[in-house]
Amino acid sequence: MTAYFAPTRDMQFVINELAGFAEVAVLPAFAEQEAGPELVEAVLEEAAKLAAEALAPLNHFGDILGTHVHPEQGVIPADGFAEAYQKFIEGGWNGIGSPTEHGGQGLPELINTATQEMWNSANMSFALCPLLTAGAIEAIRHVGSDAQKALYLPKMVSGEWTGTMNLTESQAGSDLSAVRTRAVPEGDHYRIFGQKIFITWGEHNMTANTIHLVLARTPDAPEGVKGISLFIVPKFLVNSDGSLGARNDVHAVSVEHKLGIHASPTCVMAFGDQEGAIGYLVGQENKGLAYMFIMMNEARFKVGVQGLAIGERAYQAAREYAKDRVQGRPVGVKSGDRVTIIHHPDVRRMLMTMKAQNEAMRALAYVTAKHMDLARHHPDPAVRKTQQARVDLLIPVIKGWSTELGIEVASLGVQVHGGMGFIEETGACQHLRDSRITTIYEGTTGIQAADLAGRKLSMDQGATMQALLAEMEATMADLAAAPGDDLATIRAALGEGIQALAAATDWILACRDPNAVMAVSVDYMMLTGYVCGGWQMARAAQVAQSKLASGEDPVFHEAKLITARFYAEHILPKAGALLRSVQHGGVSIMALTEEQF
């Protein structure tokens, strides 16, 4: 079982050199924080300590022990989780990105994203608890009443109370139009009756209260998604002075037995088994679906970061094992000492694939976080609108592409370990098992791809994607002026990738058959991810070569340059194959009749 050490050097490189933290630091919203490289370094160092010392040691133990339901005390987390959570909130980490008006630290999303990566690398099961709270905070902050904000947000931001998202039901799955949970009006509140499934951290004893956000239908609501409303349903009712009142009629019926994330209780929640759970309407009736997407987009981005985070943890474990495991002699050598497996070319191939894809995912996620900061806080409304369009375009890519890659990287981690990777004691199995849920929850890979190809592109007839491609072309021009064989190789591969993405985009926009578009949408989304990742790796290579020319940190920057070239030579060529699938592969996907399966 390996330890976890946050890759703070690479994080700082991406934050400062690729995301351009200086552009975020000058925004008026962050003037009081005196944000600069020193703040970034200080926050990352402290977060890395907490991740390494308090969260990571619980990861394997929590996987073994899991959670259980006590007949009187409810859901009991694994030993040590409650103590770690107290350290987490005492350090102010739960509110690092929340506004200061609600007790948060108000730091940029760019910094928050780096800490999110650390929490999920160290202990994904643990990190899911504050992740869901963050989504609930965003929903209440954006559409809750002033009274609701004052009553709930300070303690949710501090982490004294946690939050959940109660969306789907057993008969509904991803089709929320089939939600049946009822909300019966009663004075200034509603009585909620129904059952929700797959509720992450739906119940636990780590905090005094849990604030559930619940989708339900009022008696006169129209059918389908237009009849869904959103309600606050506290585990314990909250008095007007903020003190806790009686236990509400909501409880966990059971916890699911899952492939991974064993220490995160995934609950079946029952509302209204007795007199009905008291709930409070958020915003307007029948607007719940729109409000849900506030929570959903917050969560989707962070789940994409989970793909990166698990990939990083799996890479660290595989790297250390490869440096330690002695097996075989170098290629072509028949006698002499045996060497560690990191000397073997195929192990190098796997480690480089893991490392390169992790760095590409990190760069794209952090750059997107920068766009979030500009979309939220730039003083110019036109800039905010443009930046939000970029965020909206990239979130399904971050979520879908990064989680698919996270599984691939975790699987390679098992392979690097060989037979020991199939043995639970090494921890490699857990990373693969934990990563598998990320492509499913908060919208499957197919749902992300449908959102990208079927909605985000068509909203502005591809204008936002064209602007993105134009920025990539500008990077190509910069690379053309830079000397060196590495950058020339990277430029050639990136150029082919850009052409493939442009051609695939044109095909999607021109196609008038929605079934044909949906059939190849995952290929299009993955193509977008690979090319966007390659673009960021090319930018990283350009910076690295400049730093090498000045003699700055040659070991780090040489590795950055070589890794970018590997990505260009071994990962980016996938774009061409995916283009062919987009343009020609839809017919065979839909060709068989139902009986032929």
- Burial class for 305, CB neighbours closer than 10 Å (0-12, 13-18, 19+): buried
Q: b/e per residue, 77-106, with b = 16+ CB within 10 A?
A: bbebbeebbeebbeebbbbbbbeeebbbbb
**What's the angle, vertex CA 135, arms to CA 133 and CA 139, rounded to 5?**
115
What span, in angstroms and rounded, lies between the C-alpha atoms of 465 and 50?
Answer: 39
Model confidence pLDDT, tens digit, residues 41-52: 999 999 999 999
Nearest alpha-carbon partner for 519 in 458, 574, 581, 589: 589
What span, in angstroms and rounded, lies between the C-alpha atoms of 110 and 365?
Answer: 9
Residue 219 has φ and ψ, to the nearest 5°, of: -55, -35
| Six token digits for residue 542 | 């350009």
List 251's β-bridge partners, or say none. 270
Q: For strand 209-216 and strand 161-166, is the pairing parallel, antiparallel, or unpaired? A: parallel
Q: Do the domains 8-153 and 162-286 sit in the same CATH topology, yes or no?
A: no
Coil, strand, or helix at residue 196? strand
| Six token digits for residue 73 | 């005390």
- CATH for 8-153? 1.10.540.10
| Six token digits for residue 402 | 């990064």
State how far the alpha carbon of 121 is from the alpha carbons of 218, 303, 311, 490, 512, in Å.
Answer: 41, 12, 8, 29, 42
Give the per-residue pLDDT at 179: 85
Coil, strand, or helix at residue 184? strand
Give the per-residue pLDDT at 518: 97
Give the per-residue pLDDT at 258: 96
Q: Which residues of the chain have pLDDT under 50?
A: none
State how far the alpha carbon of 290 is from the alpha carbons of 176, 265, 335, 577, in Å.
Answer: 12, 27, 68, 37
Q: How many CB atoms lie within 10 A of CB 66?
A: 18
State how far the alpha carbon of 115 is from the alpha carbons of 48, 56, 131, 510, 550, in Å.
Answer: 8, 14, 12, 41, 30
- Cβ neighbours of residue 175 closer than 8 Å, sequence gap 6 or more: none
What span, in angstroms and rounded, lies between the C-alpha atoms of 490 and 492?
Answer: 6
Per-residue DSSP letters for 515-562? Answer: HHHHHTHHHHHHHHHHHHHHHHHHHHHHHHHHHHHTTSSHHHHHHHHH
- Cβ neighbours of residue 497 closer than 8 Å, sequence gap 6 or more: 530, 531, 534, 535, 572, 575
Nearest alpha-carbon partner for 497 in 400, 576, 398: 576
For residue 76, the surrounding DSSP H or E stretch is strand 74-76
Q: How many CB atoms lie within 10 A of CB 71?
A: 5
Residue 26 has φ and ψ, to the nearest 5°, of: -85, -5
Domain 162-286 matching CATH 3.40.1160.10: the answer reads no
Three-state secondary structure along 235-281? CEEECCCCCEEEECCEEEEEECCCCCCCCCCEEEEEECCCCCEEEEE
What span, in angstroms and rounded, lies between the C-alpha atoms of 359 and 350?
Answer: 14
Residue 535 one-letter amino acid? W
202 alpha carbon, distance to own chain's centre: 20
What span, in angstroms and rounded, lies between the C-alpha atoms of 587 and 533?
Answer: 29
Give the per-residue pLDDT at 176: 73
Catalytic residues, by residue number, are 442
- Contact predicate 289/178, CB 8 Å: no
What span, in angstroms and rounded, lies between the C-alpha atoms of 289 and 335?
Answer: 67
- Domain ranges for the chain: 8-153, 162-286, 455-590
- Burial class for 481, CB neighbours closer than 10 Å (0-12, 13-18, 19+): exposed
What span, in angstroms and rounded, lies between the C-alpha atoms of 109 and 113?
Answer: 6
- Contact predicate 208/238, CB 8 Å: no
Q: For strand 236-238 and strand 68-70, is the pairing parallel, antiparallel, or unpaired? A: unpaired
